[in-house]
Amino acid sequence: MLWLLIYAYLGSLAAGLIFSFLGRQRLRRRRIRVATAVLSAPVVLLGGLFLLYWLGEPPTIEKLQRDFPSRRLALEEIVRMSNEDRCFSRISLNLISGDRDKPCARLPKMRWDAYRRIFEHNGIKIGIHRDDSRDAFIVVDSIGIVNRGHMTGYVYWDPSTVVTGYRFDPCVLKGKSGHRQYDPTTRDEAYSFVRLDELWYAYDVGPS
């Protein structure tokens, strides 16, 4: 039934386009063109939404891998700065979060601006997040909300920390690559990663 409605809709749209140019009477052609424009609005809207979604997709792991050599110095600078600002677990373009277990002074605006300049210059649209192990996830971009999206970026494994709690998947598995599909039964999140060198990975996480 749905396919019949789709075929009928597309057929009506095609007929409208044809008769809007081939009709004999000018007034009739104009009316057909108006009706066809109204009829085609859902197609234009869906096409626009698809284009926005496609353009809004985070970079793939393959692209992150290609960009890593040119971004490496900047990524290392972000990690170095974050090591100095150990009190802050998350620093992004629009948000700063302190470690809940440590009292944090306010991050000076000049320091925050220094992070943001590096982020913007290197196409990093989100920022850096450190977990309890001090491993770093530099989130390049994300799409979707809550458990319906995913995000991609670079993971830095901090070899100086030994933690039995949560760590980013690449830092635990330590292989050349890995992936897992989302499991709706256990709600284990999906992920994939590729090792870039001894301490760096390209990472895609979600949905969860």
Q: What is the number of domains present in the chain?
A: 2
pLDDT in tens, 111-131: 999 999 999 999 999 999 998
Q: Which one, of 81, 131, 129, lies nearest residue 107 by Cα?
A: 81
Task: Return the pLDDT at 47.
Answer: 38
Residues 120, 161, single domain; the answer is yes
- Asked if residue 105 and residue 44 are part of one domain, the reply reads no
User: Which residues constitute the domain of residue 26?
Assistant: 2-56
Are 51 and 65 members of one domain? Answer: no
Domain identity same for 45 and 83: no
Question: 70 and 126, same structural domain?
Answer: yes
Give the whole-angstrom CA distance, residue 140 versus residue 135: 16
Give 8-61 pLDDT, tens digit per residue.
544 554 544 454 554 444 545 455 444 444 445 454 444 333 333 434 588 999
Same domain, 80 and 40: no
Does 36 lie in the same domain as 73? no
Domain boundary pick from 16, 38, 56: 56
Instruction: Tell me the mean pLDDT in the region 64-70.
Output: 96
| Residues 189, 124 share a domain | yes
Question: What is the distance between the alpha carbons of residues 163 and 152, in angstroms, rounded to a whole number?
Answer: 24
pLDDT in tens, 136-191: 999 999 887 645 678 999 999 988 877 666 788 898 888 999 989 888 887 788 89
71 and 154 co-located in one domain = yes
pLDDT at 154: 97
Tell me which long-range contacts 117-126 makes (C-beta under 8 A, separation of at least 24). Answer: 118/74, 118/77, 118/78, 119/78, 119/92, 119/93, 120/93, 121/74, 122/71, 122/74, 122/75, 124/78, 124/153, 125/93, 126/92, 126/93, 126/151, 126/153
Domain boundary among 56, 71, 100: 56
Do 66 and 44 belong to one domain?
A: no
pLDDT tens profile 74-84:
999 999 999 99
One domain for residues 68 and 95: yes
Q: Are residues 35 and 110 in the same domain?
A: no
Query: How do residues 72-109 score in pLDDT, each as one tens digit?
Result: 999 999 999 999 998 899 999 888 887 666 667 789 99
End-of-domain residue from the set 10, 35, 56: 56
